[in-house]
Structure 1
Amino acid sequence: MSGKTAVSRDDDLQPASVVPDSIGKVLHTEDLDTFPCRRSAAGARRRVTMLGLRGIPNVQGGVEKHVEMLATRLVAEGWNVDVIGRRRYLAQSSPYSWGGIRVFPLWAPRIMALEAIVHTFVGVCFAALRRPDILHIHAVGPALLVPLARLFGLKVVVTHHGYDYDRQKWGSFARRMLKLGERLGMKLSNRAIAISRDIVETMGALYRVPVALIPNGVAVTRWRGDSGILREFGLERRRYVLVAARLVPEKRQTDLIQAFARLEGVGFKLVLAGGAEFETPYAQDVRAMASKVPGVVLTGFQTGERLADLFANAALFVLPSSHEGMPIALLEAMAYGLPVLASDIVANRELGLPAQDYFPLGDIDALAAAIAGKLTSPLSEEEILARMLHAEATYSWTSVAQKTLSVYGALVR
């Protein structure tokens, strides 16, 4: 996991007295007095509400990591931050405080096609009661509800995290809705942000609107202890290849397993860290394929010190995906100083890595050859340290927060 602040333990979660029970429960404004949100005097702390994610802390997903890291920096900058999450992904079912951030677990249906949009509707209604200075909606699907938020009189910022309609899991109707969400988010929000230059330029060309470029950041947990995860899965330091990603088709773990299967006798293992939110045919395919290839290890979703151990001790990080916004997992691998390989999609190429760090998307032979080449030419510890320092200097979450606050500042002067 990134940064010390991103590692949570149960005793960090302090329950609050407000319980937003479900979509069917009426929320009375007097019930919200526990968490006052209106500015009572000049100079009072501003409040932003984050919506469009599963929740924080330690919830799998790029948007979730982005909000977790951004929110901690906004708190340090003097803002009050509320995060509205989906109850089933969170450690508690009632509101709690984590790192100075208030997290509100709200109900969402456990149906892949409806979960995000229904939860966002509930979240917008909840935000309308809370009246934050800024409602910050993340991703183009939740941006479908921007018109409703504007009707409630909220000031809305939307961050475009990637072309979600390109994800393989969606059918034609869902893709059309996601594209509509993109259009509504870009044209009807008060301010728009994108995490990559490609998205900024594409949105400008499509919708003729200004979009602020604020890339993802990276921070690394300085964990040098022993979480026990290497022993648990029979791993040795610098003797395994790592990918950390959800088990969804666009991450293409199956490509990586096939490439690894062609590297007979290399003496390395392949570690797939990540889980599936829903039991899908793709997740089943990954598990079935992994079971047939010696040396492939499935760890499930990992976070905190255990994930830090996996990153810190890997020999190589590979990201074979067909879709990314701006890949936080790849940034984290770079911040750990690891050699990396990434598919040559636009989002990965935007990081400007050397040519030898890319391979043609879907080319199993090229991926296998690239992995073999990296493993036979390991980096020295001095080279690893130099890479770590470069990544941390280039991708700073503090810079992300300051740029975000400049966007907010145009709305709350």
Structure 2
Amino acid sequence: MSGAGGLLRVGFAIPGDLDTPTGGYEYDRRLIAAGPAAGLELSRLPLPGGFPEPTLDEAAAARATLAAALATSRGPILADGLAMGALSPERWPEGLAERLVILCHHPLGHETGLPPERARAMLETEGAALRAARSVLTTSRVTAAALAGELGVDPARIRVAVPGLIPAEPAPRRGAPPLLLGVGTLSARKDWPTLVAALAQLRDRDWRCLIAGDVTRDTEAAERLERVLVEEGLDDRIALPGALRRAQIEQLYAEADLFCLPSRHEGYGMVVLEAMARGLPVLAADAGALPEAADGAALLLPPGDPAAWAEAIARLLDDADERERMSAASLARAARAPRWEDAARIAAEALREAAAGQ
């Protein structure tokens, strides 16, 4: 609850390692850091790391942690949807629903590559959890619409807190050869093979590519991508350095010339805005909330269409004026993006309403 100066103290239930290098965990970290400026102090309630498919023991441990939080504080609880989307509300600790705000980055059942029956089961459980909670915080208008239209969440109980952006220095973009950068987990949803297939069609041109992302969260997709690089003879031109520290990612943005994100779905796509803050021309899939994040400043391409991606990349490599135009559009988009304090303020409003029982 509120302490001195009206600061709202809230437990934030997060599964696994908060330092995990994904967009969802980055959002959680940034929200915690920005909270005090919005009168919000988020203290982590650590949950087991097996979510969104926990073992019985992991699910029981998560419920025990939430029950203990309810017993030691009368305030609201914020919980990352990676966990709550997998815990059936009929087994929640008593009293949790009326004090719970769920942060949903995107529906778990929308993950690419899930068997249809598993996707349906995940959406059913997640929908029940979101409908049972006091309110829902999400990261884009696209995701909010999906929660209301597909999962039956009352739109009046959904708040949208889009990711913030930290200003950065523009990249010089003078790579020789030019560096095409991708940032994101090597997972089926990110669909890096489409980018590789596009670059295979441009092997006679001068470029290099680096795709920085965790290889451990979807090992099958990561191993498949590595095989494709070898089969295409591109393993010496496309680097897969794995998960990198934040400072290393920042350095890559500074060294890049173009940014590519071929994802099949994104709950927002924070890396698109991060790239735009450096003035990088951005190519992104026309999927999920990526058009919302790009807000007219990216070149949106059909997901899973290597020929379209190859044509667009070739055009940008050949046309310096077009690169400059897109760089200017990126910087303009970044300039009008919200800051993390804005996201924290919206989260604080939702949590204060939960604290007041509204």
TM > 0.5: yes
Identify which of 289, 293, 308 aligns with 1:347: 289
For residue 250 of structure 1, what is the amino acid of its counterpart? R
Q: What TM-score comes out, normalization by structure 2 length?
A: 0.83
1:113 is aligned to: 53
Summarize the alignment of residues 203-282 of structure 1 with structure 2, pairs less than 5 Å apart. 203-206=147-150, 207=152, 209=154, 210=156, 211-220=158-167, 236=175, 239-278=178-217, 280-282=219-221
CA displacement at 1:188 relative to structure 2? 0.8
Identify which of 9, 17, 20 aligns with 1:55: 17
Q: Is the 8 A contact 1:165 1:178 kept in 2?
A: yes
CA displacement at 1:260 relative to structure 2? 0.7
2:344 is aligned to: 401
CA displacement at 1:221 relative to structure 2? 5.3
Q: Secondary structure at the match of 2:53?
A: helix
Tell me the percent identity: 21
Q: Secondary structure at the match of 1:266?
A: coil
Q: Secondary structure at the match of 1:170?
A: coil
CA displacement at 1:259 relative to structure 2? 0.7
1:335 is aligned to: 277
Against the structure 1 CA distance between its residues 223 and 240, is the aligned structure 2 distance closer, same or farther, given a 3 Å change threshold? Answer: closer
Q: Secondary structure at the match of 1:368?
A: helix
Identify which of 10, 26, 34 aligns with 1:73: 34
Question: Please, which runs of 5 or more residues in structure 1 have no aligned partner?
Answer: 1-37, 86-105, 225-234
CA displacement at 1:297 relative to structure 2? 0.9
Structure-2 separation of matches of 1:373 and 1:311: 21
Structure-2 separation of matches of 1:65 and 1:259: 29
1:369 is aligned to: 311
CA displacement at 1:157 relative to structure 2? 0.4
Higher normalized helix content (fraction of residues) = 2
Identify which of 107, 111, 114 aligns with 1:163: 107
- Residues 73-115 of structure 1 deviation map (CA, whole Å, 9 limit, x = unaligned): 1033343221234xxxxxxxxxxxxxxxxxxxx5445x97326
The number of equivalent residue pairs is: 343
Q: Is the 8 A contact 1:144 1:184 kept in 2?
A: no
CA displacement at 1:329 relative to structure 2? 1.3
Q: Is the 8 A contact 1:195 1:325 kept in 2?
A: yes
- Residues 270-314 of structure 1 deviation map (CA, whole Å, 9 limit, x = unaligned): 111012224632211111222331411111111222110101221
Structure-2 separation of matches of 1:121 and 1:80: 22
Q: Secondary structure at the match of 1:151?
A: coil
Structure-2 separation of matches of 1:352 and 1:107: 34
Structure-1 separation of matches of 2:244 and 2:176: 17
Q: Is the 8 A contact 2:15 2:48 kept in 1?
A: no
Identify which of 229, 233, 236 aligns with 1:290: 229
Structure-2 separation of matches of 1:315 and 1:178: 39
Q: Is the 8 A contact 1:165 1:176 kept in 2?
A: yes
- Residues 9-37 of structure 1 deviation map (CA, whole Å, 9 limit, x = unaligned): xxxxxxxxxxxxxxxxxxxxxxxxxxxxx
Structure-2 separation of matches of 1:107 and 1:408: 24
1:84 is aligned to: 45
Question: Please, which runs of 5 or more residues in structure 2 have no aligned partner?
Answer: none
**Mapped pair 1:133 → 2:75:** yes
2:245 is aligned to: 303
For residue 170 of structure 1, what is the amino acid of its counterpart? L
Structure-2 separation of matches of 1:392 and 1:132: 40
Q: Is the 8 A contact 1:237 1:314 kept in 2?
A: no
Against the structure 1 CA distance between its residues 279 and 319, is the aligned structure 2 distance closer, same or farther, given a 3 Å change threshold? Answer: closer
1:357 is aligned to: 299
Q: What TM-score comes out, normalization by structure 1 length?
A: 0.73
